[in-house]
């Protein structure tokens, strides 16, 4: 029951924010303000509903050290995408046609902030965390990765392959990042860094969605396996491999730190692991 209540509250705020952002049509200052406002309101809604339904302080979004944790995640996300796009470019699937738009990059900051925060709250903060407490880390990772991939199935230019790629590359990696750190700030930072680099820096499409030009006017070409096709680099083999590598690294860290949750025995109560 608490899972449903939390999903409803956060999803309503996220959906309302996305409608507002979409309504302004990439107006730079409004997209920036509304995007950041959606992210902040979603975090406040999450903190409120967790306190109300679980009778605890939501330490996974504690403000202490939040900037440093999100910053580390951001660097990981940007670095990961830089490696992916460099690989695609080396194989002839990406080139820079010229400079893009600074205003577009600013608008994309707000858009990406809203998407990264709301999606991490829903998929890692609520679904992964609660399912993990009942079924353990392994099953929670598999189930939420599948759901995360399916949530992108209806995006423009989405295919069965792009859905599988998102599930493997992003769903697994971001869930593992939470399992290793027990804070939502790291996966939020990774998610934001990846999407920001993808759109606002290197100027490529994000999950099939066309966006204003970022700082660079990037052009992708070649097969779906090479460049991701019309869906964007997230559907490329390079992105899937990079996501798998980071998933393994995060799971190794989780095991080393003792933060993996075993599937509860039937005769023991389920428990949610939080920091």
pLDDT (tens digit per residue) in 224-254: 999 999 999 999 999 999 999 999 999 999 9
pLDDT tens-digit profile of 126-170?
999 999 999 999 999 999 999 999 999 999 999 999 999 999 999
Query: Domain ranges in the chain?
Result: 61-257
Among the residues of the chain, which ranges form H helices?
2-23, 28-54, 66-90, 102-120, 129-135, 137-150, 160-166, 172-181, 185-196, 224-227, 237-257
In angstroms, the CA 7 to CA 91 distance is: 42
Q: Check residue 223 and give left, alpha or beta (phi > 0: left; psi -120 to 50: alpha).
A: beta
pLDDT score of 254: 97
In angstroms, the CA 105 to CA 131 distance is: 36
pLDDT score of 24: 83
Token couple for 10:
């956060």
> Is the per-residue pLDDT at 265 higher than 90?
no
Higher pLDDT residue, 122 or 25? 122
In angstroms, the CA 35 to CA 111 distance is: 5
Structure pTM?
0.93
pLDDT tens-digit profile of 48-102?
999 999 999 999 999 999 999 999 999 999 999 999 999 999 999 999 999 988 9
181-213 burial, b at 16+ Cβ within 10 Å, e below that, comes to bbbbbbbbbbbbbbbbbbbbbbbbbbbbeebbb
At residue 163, φ and ψ (nearest 5 deg) are -65, -45
> Is the per-residue pLDDT at 272 higher than 50?
no
Q: Please report, rounded to a whole number, the percentage of residues in the chain having pLDDT higher than 90.
A: 83
């Amino acid at each position: 029951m608490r899972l449903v209540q939390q999903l409803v509250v956060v999803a309503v705020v996220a959906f309302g924010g996305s409608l507002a952002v979409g309504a302004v049509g990439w107006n730079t200052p409004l997209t920036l303000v509304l995007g950041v406002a959606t992210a902040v309101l979603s975090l406040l809604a999450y903190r409120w509903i967790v306190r109300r339904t679980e009778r605890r302080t939501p330490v996974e979004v504690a403000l202490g050290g939040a900037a440093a944790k999100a910053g580390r995640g951001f660097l990981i996300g940007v670095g990961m995408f830089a490696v992916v796009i460099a690989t695609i470019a080396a194989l002839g699937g990406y080139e820079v046609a010229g400079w893009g738009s600074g205003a577009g990059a600013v608008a994309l900051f707000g858009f990406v902030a809203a998407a990264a925060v709301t999606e991490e709250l829903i998929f890692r903060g609520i679904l992964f965390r609660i399912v993990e407490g009942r079924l353990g880390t392994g099953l929670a990772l598999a189930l939420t990765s599948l759901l995360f991939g399916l949530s992108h199935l209806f995006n423009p230019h989405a295919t069965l392959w792009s859905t599988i790629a998102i599930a493997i590359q992003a769903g697994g990696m971001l869930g593992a990042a939470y399992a290793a750190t027990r804070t939502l700030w790291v996966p939020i930072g990774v998610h934001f860094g990846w999407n920001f680099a993808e759109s606002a820096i290197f100027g490529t499409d994000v999950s099939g969605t066309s966006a204003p030009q970022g700082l660079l006017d990037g052009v992708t070409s070649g097969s779906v396996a090479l460049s991701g096709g019309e869906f964007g680099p997230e559907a490329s083999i390079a992105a899937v491999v990079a996501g798998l590598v980071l998933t393994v690294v995060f799971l190794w860290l989780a095991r080393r730190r003792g933060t993996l949750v075993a599937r509860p025995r039937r005769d023991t109560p389920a428990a949610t692991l939080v920091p």
